[in-house]
């Protein structure tokens, strides 16, 4: 699926909402997380596939992405 699909999907999640927080579990390569951040939300993504999380980190270096295979050690201490 193309980036337009993910942008449209992210837009439907919170079309008129003020900037808030979002957690995308199973974020794949992080396209929805990236779009939510572009819309001003504080978005985080969790992915259990090593190759997907590595690609997600390449797509957007600003996104907060976590490797779901080892989530407890990947999260900041205040949230684990």
pLDDT (tens digit per residue) in 63-77: 888 888 886 665 566
Q: How far apart are the first and last CA of the chain?
A: 32
What is the tally of structural domains in the chain?
A: 1
Q: Is 79 within the bounds of a domain?
A: no
User: Rounded CA gap, 49 and 53, in Å?
Assistant: 6
In b/e form, how buried is each residue of 7-18, taking b as 16+ CB within 10 angstroms?
beebeeeeeeee
pLDDT band at 1 (very low <50, low <70, confident <90, very high): low
Q: How many residues does the chain have?
A: 80
∠ CA 47-43-72 to the nearest 5 degrees?
A: 45
- The average pLDDT across 35-54 equals 89
Q: What is the pLDDT of residue 66?
A: 86
Residue with tokens 């396209």: 31
| CATH at residue 14 | 3.40.50.150
Supply the range of the domain harboring residue 48: 3-72
Mean residue pLDDT across the chain: 80
pTM, rounded to two decimals:
0.72
């Amino acid at each position: 699926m193309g980036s337009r699909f993910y942008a449209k999907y992210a837009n439907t999640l919170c079309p008129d909402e003020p900037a808030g927080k979002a957690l995308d579990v199973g974020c794949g390569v992080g396209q929805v997380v990236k779009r939510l951040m572009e819309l001003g939300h504080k978005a985080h993504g969790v992915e259990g596939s090593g190759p997907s999380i590595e690609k997600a980190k390449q797509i957007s270096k600003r996104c907060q992405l976590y490797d779901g295979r080892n989530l407890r050690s990947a999260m900041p201490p205040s949230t684990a």
